[in-house]
Amino acid sequence: MEKSINLTLKVWRQASPTAKGKFETYSLKNISTDASFLEMMDILNEQLVKEHKEPVAFDHDCREGICGMCSLYINGHPHGPDGEITTCQLHMRNFHDGQTITIEPWRSAAFPVIKDLVVDRGAFDKIIQAGGFVSVNTGGVPDGNAIPIPKDKADEAMDAASCIGCGACVAACKNGSAMLFLSAKVSQLALLPQGKVEAARRAKAMVAKMDELGFGNCTNTGACEAECPKNVSLSNIARLNREFLKAKFKD
């Protein structure tokens, strides 16, 4: 049943990448528990505009859990307290009347803040550009069953491909490691015949780019898997390590 709740928001405000940021406190009244978290942020911004104040900058696009844009760190969790969902799928029924909600941007050296809650995740694009693709000529579109792929391999590749590049794994990691993201991108190709041809070169180039961009080392804490909205498995990191070692042996 729909209910209304009153909230106190502590929101990170930062005017520019070089400005000193700080938390601002706002009160919101009569928020429907059926509202999504981003709708609640829209209501906050409408309130700020009416008060002739600068609205809060935050990223969003699809609002369907697909694009990975809605990167908010809510009460100490990337994408908030509910498991296996993105911020845009989080609803206000997960909060209670009178609660204080702290909202921060992703905190990672590799994801600098652009403004308020918006961070630059261009480092992920650079990792993909280093090798997250198939560049060999695979010819025309083959018949559906011309390349037999075992069902378990197809399933594992699809699971890895469910990574939406949101960056929650980096934000959750005390080392700021991008290994879960990178391993998903390597795995989705390494598991399929079309991706195997360049697997060694791909793993080496993407790992080198990740290191160059200032992401931290993986120390297997598992925080990334626990906070990933798409349930991307740590087993992908083990696969990435195997692919990387194979590439080194080939050298």
Q: Would you tell me which residues interact with ligand FES (CB under 6 A)? A: 60-63, 65-70, 86-88
The residue whose two tokens read 């296996």 is 84
Taking the C-alpha atoms of residue 218 and residue 180, their distance in angstroms, rounded to an integer, is: 9
Residue 60 touches which member of ligand SF4, ligand FES, none, C-beta under 5-8 Å by kind:
ligand FES
CB closer to ligand FES, 68 vs 131: 68
Residue 181 touches which member of ligand FES, ligand SF4, none, C-beta under 5-8 Å by kind:
ligand SF4
Reading the block at residue 145, the tokens are: 């069953």
Q: Is 90 in the site for ligand SF4 (CB under 6 A)?
A: no
The residue whose two tokens read 């079309």 is 194
Reading the block at residue 5, the tokens are: 């709740």
Site for ligand SF4 in 200-239 (CB under 6 A): 228-230, 232
Site string for ligand SF4, 168-197 (x = CB under 6 A): xx----------xx--x-------------
Neighbours of 131 (CB within 10 A): 23
Residue 232 touches which member of ligand SF4, ligand FES, none, C-beta under 5-8 Å by kind:
ligand SF4
**Please, what sign has the CA dihedral across residues 107, 109, 115, 121?**
negative
Residue 179 touches which member of ligand FES, ligand SF4, none, C-beta under 5-8 Å by kind:
none
- Please name the helix (run of DSSP H) or strand (run of DSSP E) that holds residue 29, with its range, or none: strand 22-32
CB closer to ligand SF4, 31 vs 132: 132
* Minimum gap (Å) between residue 169 Cβ and ligand SF4: 3
* Minimum gap (Å) between residue 113 Cβ and ligand SF4: 18
| Size of the residue set binding ligand SF4 (CB under 6 A) | 14
Which residue(s) pair with 102 in the sheet? 10
Q: Is 31 in the site for ligand SF4 (CB under 6 A)?
A: no
Q: Which of 131, 132, 165, 195 binds ligand SF4 (CB under 6 A)?
A: 165
Taking the C-alpha atoms of residue 99 and residue 6, their distance in angstroms, rounded to an integer, is: 8
Quick one: CA torsion of 150, 152, 153, 155, rounded to 10 degrees?
A: 120
Q: Is 151 exposed, middle or buried (0-12, 13-18, 19+ CB in 10 A)?
A: exposed
Kindly list the residues in this chain that would bind ligand SF4 in the complex (CB under 6 A): 163-169, 180-181, 184, 228-230, 232
